[in-house]
């Protein structure tokens, strides 16, 4: 009963938690059932990376949905989605460093810094790390006005993630589709565009 | 420069005709002979995985690297004519028609000829255990069945003008749905300089692991050039043409800055977007350092003497 009334009040949060946790559960399930027969490292790397991007896009979509559609409740899941995105970024990096390169530092250094496609991903990951740490309320208070400025770096992280994706594939179709969505979500934040679109709505 | 003889790659005792492979004759005997010839190996062959067809003659390449499992070789394929997803190719290629099949050999030759598959199989087939290094920085070790391309080229008698060999894959969008994609200039085209094509290591493969090629591996006949990135080893060939000018491959046409004509495996020359310093050996769960010419430098380095390999990538 408690659960049902919580779900009624907070169905959106429940949905956000499910969106954040189910891909991980699915990945573990697939791994345990031997779905990754040939190249599990690549499979885990691409799945955690793709999930991180999807969650980052969802978190970036919250603000425009609020301003354009007036749905206030989405703002309550924005931080959670961002943190889940960071969870998958962390898993993605650990897969790369640990499962793929086995923490062989002599190989790992060049692998990160000499590979064009890795750099934007690595930078996006560092940004999300800082944002994840400072997402706690304490930091929010401590940083005051600067907190908002700092957290605008998430736009940069979104762009870097797309560049990372674009540079690692031979076929650019999928990253370009995600890129279009990220571009739209960023354009909708431009004050003039935002006003124009919300005027149309009224 | 020492000339490579086939016995440097696969022990001579292991030279068996395709038919005796298919019959699976004395597979165990052959593998123990091959292993003792490799030296320092445990002479007892391990139990074969359940999915493995007739046994290959060796369990490792000449460097002692274990063969990639048949399951991996036949389920992890870059074959954009079917799918961009390596795991989907086997399923989508299942019904690919490989018979009847002909390979037209034409261009600057005195004796142009169209080979049926049976003509190609009439060349003495031998096993070659080669490392395959993909430009995406993964690799496999595969026991191919096939014959040196040089033998086929000698039959058609290249003219002295001929300097390059151009290869073409079947164009049939009905069977190969990937060819409906407008992003690539189908059909798939690849090329070799004539001396590369005539090199003893360059083979036309018709099988692997002692069985005929599966569609996902480029059935019924494909090129294998072990010192170059995998995309040079063009699959499902229907046309071979001797030409004077350097052919433009599909990858050169679609991304000239990223894919050159030579595509020799080289850890020092990075792809513009990723490093080629290391590779993930499929099935071994480990990353190894990539070697120049994929470890075949002794046999092929002389082909590129005086060439700046970072310019001719």
Query: Which of B209, B208, B206, B207 lies closest to B55 in space, CA to CA?
Result: B209
Does pLDDT of B36 surpass 80? no
Interface confidence, given as ipTM, is: 0.79
Does pLDDT of B10 surpass 80? no
Compute the Cα dihedral for A102, A107, A108, A111 and give only its sign: negative
> Using a CB-CB distance cutoff of 8 angstroms, which residues of chain B are in contact with residue A100?
280, 287
H-only helix segments in chain B: 18-22, 27-38, 70-73, 89-92, 117-122, 149-156, 194-197, 250-254, 297-300
Inter-chain residue contact B283 with A38, CB threshold 8 Å: yes
- Cβ A160 vs Cβ A127: under 8 Å: yes
Res B112: pLDDT: 98
Predicted confidence band of residue A7 (pLDDT cuts 50, 70, 90): confident
- Cβ A50 vs Cβ A92: under 8 Å: no
Q: To the nearest whole percent, how much of chain B has pLDDT over 90?
A: 78
DSSP string, B168-225: EE---TTT-GGGG-TTS-SSPEEEEEHHHHTSTT-EEEEEETTEEPPGGGT-S-EEE-
The stretch B21-41 carries a mean pLDDT of 38
Q: What CA–CA distance (Å, rounded) separates B106 from B159?
A: 11
Per-chain mean pLDDT for chain A: 92
Res B226: pLDDT: 98
Does pLDDT of A160 surpass 90? yes
**Tokens 């069977």 sit on residue:** B175
Domains and their CATH numbers in chain B? 6-304 (3.90.420.10)
- Cβ B276 vs Cβ B309: under 8 Å: no
Cα dist from A143 to A60, A80, A135, A136, B71, whole Å? 21, 20, 11, 11, 56
The stretch A132-157 carries a mean pLDDT of 95
Q: How far is B49 from chain A (nearest CA, A)?
A: 14
- Residue pLDDT, tens place only, B118-172: 999 999 999 999 999 999 999 999 999 999 999 999 999 999 999 999 999 999 9
Res B55: pLDDT: 57
Does pLDDT of B260 surpass 80? yes
Inter-chain residue contact B136 with A107, CB threshold 8 Å: no
Q: How far is A134 from chain B (nearest CA, A)?
A: 32
> Using a CB-CB distance cutoff of 8 angstroms, which residues of chain A are in contact with residue B75?
37-38
Does pLDDT of B104 surpass 90? yes
Predicted confidence band of residue B49 (pLDDT cuts 50, 70, 90): very low
Residues 9-38 of B with CB under 8 A from A: none
Inter-chain residue contact B282 with A110, CB threshold 8 Å: no
Inter-chain residue contact A170 with B287, CB threshold 8 Å: no
Query: Is B137 at the interface with chain A, CB within 8 A?
Result: no
């Amino acid at each position: 009963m408690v659960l049902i009334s919580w779900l009624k009040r907070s169905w959106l949060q429940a949905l956000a938690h499910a969106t954040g946790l189910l891909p991980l559960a699915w990945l573990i399930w697939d791994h345990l059932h031997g779905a990754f027969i040939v190249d599990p490292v690549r499979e885990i790397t691409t799945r955690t990376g793709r999930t991180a991007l999807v969650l980052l896009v969802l978190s970036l979509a919250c603000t425009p949905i609020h301003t354009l559609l007036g749905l206030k409740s989405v703002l309550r899941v924005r931080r959670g989605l961002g943190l889940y995105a960071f969870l998958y970024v962390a898993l993605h990096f650990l897969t790369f460093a640990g499962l793929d390169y086995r923490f062989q530092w002599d190989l790992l250094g060049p692998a990160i810094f000499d590979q064009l496609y890795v750099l934007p991903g690595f930078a996006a990951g560092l940004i999300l790390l800082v944002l994840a740490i400072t997402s706690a309320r304490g930091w929010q208070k401590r940083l005051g006005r600067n907190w908002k400025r700092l957290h605008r770096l998430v736009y940069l992280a979104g762009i870097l993630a797309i560049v990372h994706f674009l540079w690692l594939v031979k076929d650019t179709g999928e990253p370009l589709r995600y890129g279009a969505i990220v571009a739209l979500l960023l354009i909708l934040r431009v004050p003039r565009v935002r006003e124009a679109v919300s005027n149309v709505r009224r | 420069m020492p000339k490579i003889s086939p016995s440097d790659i696969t022990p001579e005792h292991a030279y068996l005709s395709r038919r005796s492979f298919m019959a699976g004759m004395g597979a165990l005997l052959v593998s123990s002979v091959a292993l003792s010839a490799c030296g320092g190996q445990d002479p007892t062959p391990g139990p074969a995985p359940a999915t493995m067809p007739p046994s290959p003659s060796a369990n490792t390449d000449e460097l002692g690297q274990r063969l990639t499992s048949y399951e991996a070789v036949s389920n992890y394929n870059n074959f954009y004519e079917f799918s961009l997803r390596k795991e989907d190719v086997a399923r989508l290629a299942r019904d690919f028609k490989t018979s009847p099949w002909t390979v037209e050999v034409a261009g600057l030759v005195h004796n142009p000829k169209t080979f049926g598959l049976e003509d190609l199989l009439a060349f003495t087939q031998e096993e070659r255990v080669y490392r395959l290094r993909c430009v995406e920085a993964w690799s496999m070790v595969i026991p191919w069945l096939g014959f040196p391309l040089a033998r086929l080229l000698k039959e058609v008698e290249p003219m002295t003008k001929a300097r390059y060999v151009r290869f073409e894959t079947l164009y049939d969008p009905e069977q190969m749905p990937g060819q409906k994609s407008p992003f690539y200039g189908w059909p798939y085209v690849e090329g070799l300089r004539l001396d590369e094509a005539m090199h003893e290591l360059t083979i036309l493969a018709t099988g692997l692991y002692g069985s005929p090629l599966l569609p996902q591996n480029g059935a019924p006949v494909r090129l294998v050039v072990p010192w170059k990135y995998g995309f040079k080893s063009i699959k499902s060939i229907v046309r071979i043409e001797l030409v004077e000018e350097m052919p433009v491959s599909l990858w050169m046409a679609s991304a000239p800055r990223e894919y050159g004509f030579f595509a020799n495996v080289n850890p020092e020359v990075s792809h513009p977007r990723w490093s080629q310093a290391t590779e993930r050996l499929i099935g071994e769960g480990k990353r190894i350092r990539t070697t120049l010419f994929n470890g075949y430098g002794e046999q092929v380095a002389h082909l590129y003497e005086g060439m700046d390999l970072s310019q001719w990538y």
